[in-house]
Amino acid sequence: MDGPSIEEAAGILRAGGLVAFPTETVYGLGANALDEEAVRGIFRAKGRPQDNPLIVHLPKGELPAGLVLALPGSAQGLIEAFWPGPLTLVLPKGPKIPTAVSAGLSTVALRSPAHEGAQALLRAAGLPIAAPSANASGRPSPTRAEHVFEDLNGKIPLILDGGACEIGLESTVLDLSCEEPTLLRPGLITLEELGAVLGKTPRLGRGVMQPLAAGERAPSPGLLHRHYAPRAEVILVRGEGEGLVQKLKDEYDGAENAVILCADALMRRLLPRSCRGLGADERQMAKALFAALRGADEEGFSRVILQGVAEEGLGLALMNRALRAAGFRTIDA
Ligand code: AMP
Ligand code: MG
C-alpha cells in the first residue's frame, strides 16, 4: 500500500468507483458515502440485501457537518476513548447521508478506523467512505486481500493489499440513537470497556446472541441475514474441559469429511482427527477464524466442527460470529 496506489484508489473513489481496502478489523469495500449511485455499486458487487445499511468511515479529527443530526452526550466520551479504532456508533442520521447508505433508516453508523493505510486513503480521498466488509454477501469476512480477490474478482477495479488484518473480526457496533445504549454487534471493544466509559454497561440487543423469534423486529437489519458462512456446514460445540473434548470427538467421528477448528491447546487431544488450530488465545482465534472457515472450503471439507468459547470479553464477539456461521446449530457438551 504505497503512496501511488493510495492516490489511485482515492481517484477511483472520487470518480464514483469502488475500492477494497484494509482496516484493522477486516477488509472493507468502499465508495463515496455522499454519492448515492456509487453506494448502490457496493450492494451490487456484494449481492448485499438492500435493507442492510453500511458503516461510514471517517478520517480522525472533527466530525464533518451534516452527517449526524445530533451527537448525544454519551457519544463524546466514547469517541475520545475509542476513535480511531474498532468502534462503530449508530447515531441520528444527518441530511448529507443518502438513503442507500442507511437503507432507509433514520440513523447512520459511523467509525474512524485505526489502520494507517485506511486513514491515508480517507485523507487522500477527502470524503467519508461507506464500506461494508469486502466479501460476497453471506460469506466469511475477508481478513486478507486474497479473500477479497476470491469473492470480488472482476467486480471491482482495485484491491489495496495491506496484508492480514490485525483484529480479524468486524467492529463493535453500539446504537446510541435509542433511549439506552444497545450493543448491536460485539467486537474487540467489549461491553465491559464500553460500560467503563458510559458509567453503565450497554444492553445486549435482541437477536445478537440468539435467533430472533419469527416475526420479531430486529434492532439492526444485519441481524436478519445469514453471515460468515463457508460452503461447508458448520456445527458449533459449546462446553468445557473433558466434556468438550469428548463432544468434539463424537461429532467428528459421526461425520464424514469433517475438520475441527479449535484452540491450539486442544489439538493434541483430538488427534489423529483432522483439526486446525486457531491460536493460543482468543485474540489469536479472532484473527484466524474467518480465514480458517474459508480454508476449510479450500481444503474441500464438507463439515466444520467449531469449538465454542465462553461468551465473555472478546469471547462474546467470537461466539457471535461462530453462532451465525453455524446458523445457530449448536451442541452443548
Ligand atoms: P458490515 O458492513 O458488513 O460490517 O455490516 C455493517 C453492520 O452494521 C451490519 O450488521 C448493519 O446492519 C449494521 N448497521 C449499519 N448501519 C446501521 C444502522 N443505521 N442501524 C443499525 N445497524 C446498522
Ligand atoms: Mg459484513
In percent, the amount of the chain with pLDDT more than 90 equals 92
Q: Residue 186: nearest ligand to its CA?
A: 1
Extract the C-alpha cell encoding 166: 490485525
Pocket test for ligand 1, best of 39, 90, 169 (most atoms within 8 A of CB): 90
In order of 28, 181, 294, the CA distances from 165 in angstroms are 11, 28, 15
Distance 82 CA to ligand 2 centre (A): 21
The CATH superfamily label for domain 3-204 reads DHBP synthase (3.90.870.10)
Under the banding of pLDDT at 50, 70 and 90, the label for residue 172 is very high
Which residues contact ligand 1 via a Cβ below 6 A? 52-55, 90, 102, 105, 107-109, 132-133, 170, 173, 184-185, 220-222
Summarize pLDDT for 6-44 with one digit per residue, the tens: 999 999 999 999 999 999 999 999 999 999 999 999 999
pLDDT at 222 over 90: no
Residue ranges covered by each domain of the chain:
3-204, 233-332
Please provide the DSSP assignment of 137-153 as one string.
Answer: TTSPPPSSHHHHHHHHT
Q: What is the pLDDT of residues 284-305, one digit of tens each?
A: 999 999 999 999 999 999 999 9
CA 228 to centroid of ligand 2, rounded, Å: 8
pLDDT exceeds 90 at position 166: yes
Q: How far apart are CA 6 and CA 116, in angstroms?
A: 11
Ligand nearest to C-alpha 140: 2
Report the DSSP beta bridge partners of residue 304. 234, 259
Q: Is the pLDDT of residue 215 over 90?
A: no
Residue 230, classed as helix, strand or coil, is coil
Q: Spell out the residues 6+ positions from residue 228 whose beta carbon is closer than 8 angstroms to its own.
A: 139, 140, 141, 290, 293, 321, 324, 325
Return residues with CB closer than 5 A to ligand 2 (ion): 132-133
307 closest CA partner among 251, 256, 253, 254: 251
Give the residue whose CA is nearest to atom 12 of ligand 1. Answer: 222
Residue 119 has pLDDT above 80, yes or no: yes
How far away, in angstroms, is 23 Cα from ligand 2 center? 13
pTM of the predicted structure, to 2 decimals: 0.96
Q: Which CATH fold would you assign to the domain 233-332?
A: Rossmann fold (3.40.50)
Atom of ligand 1 nearest to the CA of 108: 19
Cα dihedral 24/27/33/39 (nearest 10): -170
**17-22-23 Cα angle (round to 5):** 115
Q: How far is the CA of 311 from the centre of ligand 1 (A)?
A: 21
User: Would you state the cell numbers that stand for residue 315, as one nine-digit string?
Assistant: 469471547
According to the model, what pLDDT value does residue 226 have?
Answer: 75
Q: Which atom of ligand 1 is nearest to the CA of 54?
A: 15
The answer to whether 220 and 227 have CB atoms below 8 angstroms apart is no
Q: What pLDDT is stored for residue 269 in this prediction?
A: 96
- Which residue puts its alpha carbon closest to atom 20 of ligand 1? 220
User: What is the structure's pLDDT at 187?
Assistant: 98
- 117-137 average pLDDT score: 97
Query: What pLDDT is recorded for position 3?
Result: 80
Across the chain, mean pLDDT equals 96
* Mean local confidence (pLDDT), 267-275: 95
- What was the pLDDT predicted at 281? 97
Q: Residue 261: pLDDT band by 50, 70, 90 thresholds?
A: very high
Residue 214: its pLDDT value, please?
A: 85
Query: What H or E segment, with its residue span, contains residue 292?
Result: helix 282-298
| pLDDT single digits (tens) 302-317 | 999 999 999 999 999 9
Ligand nearest to the CA of 183: 1
